[in-house]
Structure 1
């Protein structure tokens, strides 16, 4: 960097640091003001034409561009600023920024070309307040590894939008760590929540890059509990962050631990052109390698010693910190390994209190969490104890956990200062573009009737296939799944010849996951081997099966979902690729790899880094968490788990499927008879996981909005946001689900659906009798209600008995209801009481709707008039909770009545819409034991009817500012103490 460039960078850094916490201001004036306190030559850069010249000449990774990108993006993303009325992340917002900066049109064009508006969804952040330190000024002249990593992502095909999104997300993490140069030690702890196989590694690689650039000098990555997970993480960091020069450190090319890695010989490991320390930066010293976990340092402890340029000052002083090398280790979560690390750290001469440390805990809900019961004299579990020791002995250590299943982490005791509760922040990453997650295999809240679903409008029809077990034999379905594997392999080769580059599909895999037991794998290996060699993929029988599968399945799905990728018009066109595909899978006579750690069973090495793999994988625990199965196209899944976190992590079919998304198939048991009964639960379980996960993220998003600059909730108040839909599928261990109590939820304009209804006959009879006067007062004939969408979507139409009821009457009713779990409805009741207060109520009355079936269906006589109502068959998914009760098509009308949606286009619906009116939707429910009687007689004892309801409060029924939730928190450090979080 020339002197002139350094001056320009220093000038813009000073300007942006001054503007970081304020509105955009006239740029030229700000530059001239800052230039007054700088060398005389700086004034020549305080002009807009100089800025334009810098923009025009900028190359990728230019620090000036990165600096401006951060600040412009911050202004783009800020919600409801005082200086703009335009929505965040829009061209209109950016235009306001340019206007306030007083930029000329020529400058604007260059900025737009170099730094376009990032319109990606930002992360959701639940955070304690923190002291800003990660500013352009703090990074001046030091960024090295982040610009390099940014370049790696660009070369790997990441779009500018995706890189900018990662930049924003990683900033959100790093700025909440402690300033590594601060005099007083502070230990920040946080949690980053991603999706299964969705790019969490890229996020923490970016965090490490920025953290070491900022001054963190010891990075400890806890890389899972298995060797293959640790090795996979080590290689990724070495290849994309550490770089060749730091790996070799003067050794020969063939002395590298990656000498046998094709990516090494092909030059895919990042290069710097020399050791970073020789180029004005600092080195990263690896304390672990691809094949070797952390070992005790046999030749003294010197490798962990941190050099000080000025011994009189502490290591964290900038005069020492930014000249010292960083140390990086990727260690397995293993008691022995971590004990060696703790022992060695206690031996080094550098005071541990001076070392800024970053601990990244990958899959932080596994092994890291203390599962011992919370008693004063209870010992911690082994791995948790070692992590606790690290945090205790390293007062400047920052802990960041990464997981897709955060439930165990958020239920840790917040008062345990030596534990890993994310007391400072929880960050929920947005779903990446192109990602296939749990929701892509289900039709959640689909408005399309079952008989109208097609491969185009139904995820389930497109990607999910039934496993039908007859007499405990699933051979037919397993054969079909293997046929799909061969067929999709042929299609990949066809696409490489018709649009995609040769070798585009480096890996192509099928995963069979039925059990974690080695004996089961041994039996399964024999069955699958026999099916493969008897499959006849080069003969008439095999081609006949593939032809039928192509015509009945692949051709129709791909016609609807191929996203422009080539699809052969007939099987005859595809047939020439079947032989080469089968040969690529089994040409070495080993079409199947068993991955379970049993050396007698492993028939091949599932190392995706060392070779191209087109194989069938049989696995259990090793393939159920963290490890990425590259090229996974067909999954045959029949393994059960007892909690949400474990089952979600088994979803290896989630991930990025570029070029073959339409070919992905999940074979999972759906037959409700005999041996397949357990498998039936699996598909429903994953559906429940989708609902629970969406609910958790939606709640985090709602409560992340600051109120008067302060957070609505802190990480300690997050546990009550976790929900559960199935009785046998708990979020995590029950003994961790404590510490917080949800008191109130303001839900103006939102559909709310209580589900914890009583089970006893007296309580049910009491509730039904309370509802009868309201039901009797409804219209004598059903009224047809409808909501017509502008988008051309089919209208939501249904008949219902309708009426209105005074708000006080409705409140008296819900206050008198019995509940099996009162705590579930209590936060809603508190809100309803607040908005119905006499004097100035926010709700005047409620429209009451009793929806009726569109077609002739079961009816039940209720009330003194003997009127018959449609009843609904619903099941309790977890005692006492029902699953979803409402029909999605009823919601839009209720939301319109409450003012949450625009005009419905329906006369009857519009007559009910009114200011300060809510909507109450009533569902008589008959449970399984009484359905036959209800169907045949149309009459039931009132104690056998569950009158359920959903409600939408008026969209205007807000009070107390923007705050929408209120908690009390039980602090376990003070027995019996309750802190009102209002």
Structure 2
């Protein structure tokens, strides 16, 4: 199998048969039978899994033109191997094609050391972990996806047995509550199998987060034998954990060192963080079978136990670890170390201002930096769902944790409910036609609208929904899911981080619970109405095969049992905030089944998984995008109850002097996040074998959509400037238009000559698209049009004023380039979309003609939101060559190979709309002539690169996002 392409298997079998004995025959049937006898985790199966996955996933191989991650690619692989029908079936059953998206990798260099052959015969912990996941119900495609994703991380690390020490630093970007822990558990398993012998997991800033991570690793990676170390079961620190006697902890069948493997020695336990060690800190000493050789020599490395510790991000705890490491006899330069930093954007990043060169590093960052200085073979891998603080670290700061070697973006997992599932991003269905079936917002989001501070009606309805969905879960268990399928059922109330507010919320929620009459007629009447108007219609549209009652009467018998599951112990509410005076119960999902309402703040805001979360009542405000995103505890996996999830969310509320909309804020973050990931994916494609960008050039990909919602601290946004974005055939909308009247008036005058050339008559431009459900939808609009030469248009674009030059400057550089030799654009179709009716017009240009205006607001400081509408884009993208024809004669007639499209949108903000005279006159200083454009789809520039950067002085904070006009 060792090679770059699949080759005839029978030839290889014949060759090895001759090597063994001239008379030995190794027919393919023997291989077929051997496969049938394999168990999950067997070395032969893992080798075949890795090799098949490599062939399945490789882009543009020379031996086939099939697309990667498809059944056709697998067929091509098996054809090349020459396997018969029976063997193919066995292979595909054992190793199905993983069709989920691949991780996106931005890397500085590539180190080809981690291959199936490099770990052959030594794998112990990864096969055991993969087998446990299968036993938990993970399908083969999910395991294969995790296998691939964790491979991408491990291969970025240094070879632990290399003579030369190298520190690799990287960042893995997942989604909030999307399985990042599973990924780094897989990475740790493969790393220790490969030779890493000290693993330090930085497990958050709170005890419960550290304990949660410790338990997960102990259960799924370390295993019973390594936990007990020969002690009886009752002495385990998990003796009181229900999963321990139920056999849910991994077992190796004996202490790994007695079975030809190596042990993992825990330096921390579920209840105990790292503590200073006694007796010469023997526990941290690494044994050497060959004392004269360094530990990293393979003859020592693979015969030594590994050490694992899960450490809270706390200055005192980390100081103890640093102190102990400095005392051990094993030379620190010999120890291959893996540092996993969970939630790496929290506490780990240095926040001392770079403007103060004498400022000390922040405490935790200093300790992490000290560990990296002490341990030359340490590999640092940060994990986060909110990466902006990490990528804004100054890459020239060698003491910091900037991901200089790699950034990996994990794919969105199947079955995951993320921010996209609560928003209707770019949905082209009019609001009046949106239903529970076609609108995520209508299905899952409910507004919190309060008449005054004493209004508790929204919270009461949220609690009613919590009881109703509890009954639905019991109903589904009775209809086939089985008793205990829903081990946890929770509601989260999150309004504040202040414990005083939690006291008030506890009192309010308790009063509402006991006044709600859930087992009486009044309560049932409210629940019936909520079932009929909300729960039932949503579930009928989105239950995806799960049981749904025909009517409320069929669900009613489950209301009482649901009420008892939640409040039968007279403790329906748990406060989780560290205040021992008011904490009313233990939110330990590992030790018991929890059907409760949780009231909390910061302890439940980051990293901590609220199991079974179905209803969220959220009003917490923050001015930081990363913090806000991490508070989205309603994101995650919702097997069997996805349709029941409800988010009660504060909409427009006052924060200081500003009106904020939390729903809009989450949508803005979602757009920023998806744009960031999409650009990473675009730039990850190598050109001529080299990466288009390195991790140091990532910060310009980060955007900010709301003025009050910063991505992260400004003093970390200073290390690069984006100078060109190439966008052939892509819709682009600059939005940073001036706010001052003189600049707006000047822009309007610059556009006047082109506006005057627009046709007096309108033409209808349309395009037909096929929706995912197979329906054909035609988007059309009337427009005035004109043709303009490229140089004529550029003369206007060069002179326009902006509130933030840097937003359009990278596009301008690209447009200038495609007009130079070799010229890739001949002309531009200028389009002014018009309304169907005759109203909403304003006079523009020297000719003083009427044009339709559009009402838009600046939603992000000086920046507008979307300027165009979904109906405008398809026909114009067709004209630019980005979409095939769909039969519209007008759009097809205007299409030319080297023609771009620019659409003009005169905008009038709400504050000026009442100033438009009946004859359409308005001061030009109150009109924003906005535009969107699509360059010709063939205008790719002079090479294949899609982005260029220049370096910015790291002392000039903020320029990576929005530099000042004077620069």
TM-score range, shorter chain: over 0.9
Residue matched to 1:921: 903
1:679 shift after superposition = 8.3
- Counterpart among 537, 553, 566 of residue 556 in structure 1: 537
Residue matched to 1:852: 834
| Alignment pair present for 1:385 and 2:395 | no
Residues 836-868 of structure 1 deviation map (CA, whole Å, 9 limit, x = unaligned): 11x431111111111122455421111233322
Residue matched to 1:816: 799
Tell me which moved more, 661-670 or 83-92.
Answer: 83-92
Residue matched to 2:634: 653
- Counterpart among 3, 8, 33 of residue 53 in structure 1: 33
Distance verdict in 2 for CA 1:829–1:35, change over 3 Å: farther
- Counterpart among 244, 258, 263 of residue 238 in structure 2: 258
Tell me which moved more, 174-183 or 761-770.
Answer: 761-770
Cα distance in 2 for residues equivalent to 1:44 and 1:877: 76
- Aligned 1:316-335 pairs, distance under 5 A: 316-335=296-315
Conservation of the 8 A alpha-carbon contact between 2:718 and 2:956: no
Secondary structure of residue in 1 paired with 2:244: helix
Conservation of the 8 A alpha-carbon contact between 1:671 and 1:677: no
1:42 shift after superposition = 11
Conservation of the 8 A alpha-carbon contact between 2:718 and 2:953: no
| Alignment pair present for 1:796 and 2:776 | no
Secondary structure of residue in 1 paired with 2:490: strand
Distance verdict in 2 for CA 1:755–1:42, change over 3 Å: farther
Residue matched to 2:592: 611
Distance verdict in 2 for CA 1:252–1:267, change over 3 Å: same
Residues 509-556 of structure 1 deviation map (CA, whole Å, 9 limit, x = unaligned): 000000000111011111111110111111111111101101111111
Cα distance in 1 for residues equivalent to 2:506 and 2:17: 73
Residue matched to 1:831: 814
Residues 892-924 of structure 1 deviation map (CA, whole Å, 9 limit, x = unaligned): 111111111111221111111111111111111
- Counterpart among 413, 419, 424 of residue 443 in structure 1: 424
- Counterpart among 593, 605, 626 of residue 624 in structure 1: 605
Residues 85-144 of structure 1 deviation map (CA, whole Å, 9 limit, x = unaligned): 221112222233233334444443332232222211101111112220001221011001
1:961 shift after superposition = 3.4
Cα distance in 1 for residues equivalent to 2:703 and 2:620: 23
1:45 shift after superposition = 8.3
Residues 344-397 of structure 1 deviation map (CA, whole Å, 9 limit, x = unaligned): 001100000000000000000000000001143221000000000000000000
Distance verdict in 2 for CA 1:34–1:955, change over 3 Å: farther
- Aligned 1:408-557 pairs, distance under 5 A: 408-557=389-538
1:43 shift after superposition = 10
Residue matched to 2:164: 184
Cα distance in 2 for residues equivalent to 1:486 and 1:465: 16
Residue matched to 1:246: 226
Residues 259-317 of structure 1 deviation map (CA, whole Å, 9 limit, x = unaligned): 00000010100111110000110000000000000000133300000000110110000
Residue matched to 1:706: 686
Cα distance in 1 for residues equivalent to 2:238 and 2:746: 73
TM-score w.r.t. structure 1 length? 0.95
Q: How many residues align?
A: 955
1:680 shift after superposition = 4.9
Distance verdict in 2 for CA 1:915–1:298, change over 3 Å: same
Secondary structure of residue in 2 paired with 1:267: coil
1:223 shift after superposition = 0.3
Residue matched to 2:564: 583
| Alignment pair present for 1:313 and 2:293 | yes
Distance verdict in 2 for CA 1:577–1:174, change over 3 Å: same
Conservation of the 8 A alpha-carbon contact between 2:718 and 2:955: no
- Counterpart among 878, 887, 894 of residue 912 in structure 1: 894
Q: CA RMSD in A?
A: 2.0
1:763 shift after superposition = 1.7
- Aligned 1:11-160 pairs, distance under 5 A: 15-16=1-2, 19=3, 22-29=4-11, 40=20, 48-160=28-140
Residues 773-804 of structure 1 deviation map (CA, whole Å, 9 limit, x = unaligned): 21221221221111112432421111111222
Distance verdict in 2 for CA 1:765–1:500, change over 3 Å: same
Conservation of the 8 A alpha-carbon contact between 2:652 and 2:662: no
- 5+ residue gaps, structure 1, are 1-14
Residue matched to 1:171: 151
1:675 shift after superposition = 9.2
Cα distance in 2 for residues equivalent to 1:378 and 1:41: 73
- Aligned 1:750-769 pairs, distance under 5 A: 750-769=730-749
Cα distance in 2 for residues equivalent to 1:41 and 1:260: 58
Secondary structure of residue in 2 paired with 1:301: helix
Cα distance in 2 for residues equivalent to 1:86 and 1:493: 47
Cα distance in 1 for residues equivalent to 2:25 and 2:396: 52
Cα distance in 1 for residues equivalent to 2:197 and 2:443: 49
Conservation of the 8 A alpha-carbon contact between 1:415 and 1:971: no
Residue matched to 1:633: 614
Distance verdict in 2 for CA 1:684–1:935, change over 3 Å: farther
